[in-house]
Amino acid sequence: MIILASSSPRRKELLENHGIAFIVDASSINEVLDENLDIEERLMHLAKQKAYPIHQKYPHDIVIGADTIVYHHDKIIGKPFSKSDAQSILLSLSNDKHRVYSAVAIYYGDDVECFIDYTDVYFKDIESDIETYLQSDEWMDKAGAYAIQGKANIFVDHIVGDKETVIGLPTYKVIQSLKNHGGL
């Protein structure tokens, strides 16, 4: 059995869109990034931490944990605390490039495989569109204050990489790992 250790509706939808049979069982952990590690190692460590409690619950099954962040000018851009915070974040991303990382940890019984993928996202000058977007409330609970698959796709000039990585799960890499380990 495959267990998605995430309550993200976007990750759930991505796996469903690829026809993968799974159940969802997510734990809540205190998400702390280890500042002593580089950004990619930090994220893979966090993905592993998210999957571990579920792996303990289902030690003989496949457990997938993931974490996604927006990285801009050497800073992690988290979820906005307020509408004005979302506006500030979006203005900082306007007419610029940022990178979205998605880290994955997959437990296969006693073994765990961790990997990361990233996509560079280039925003247009979005200043004139921000207010209308903020009224939609789509920015809420989104890293970087936007969802590329939603209304904010009008902000995107182009991407270099996998759009699904930006949405929250590098699904093709997950599928390849599952195939390599006999999970599919």
Residues tagged active-site? 67
The Cα 85–Cα 66 span in angstroms is 25
Collapsing DSSP to helix, strand or coil, 56 comes out as: helix
> Using alpha carbons only, how large is the chain's radius of gyration in Å?
17
Question: DSSP class of residue 154?
Answer: G
Q: Distances in Å between the alpha carbon of 59 and those of 2, 110, 122, 128?
A: 11, 7, 41, 51
Of the candidates 146, 4, 126, 16, which has an alpha carbon nearest to the alpha carbon of residue 62?
4
The Cα 21–Cα 134 span in angstroms is 35
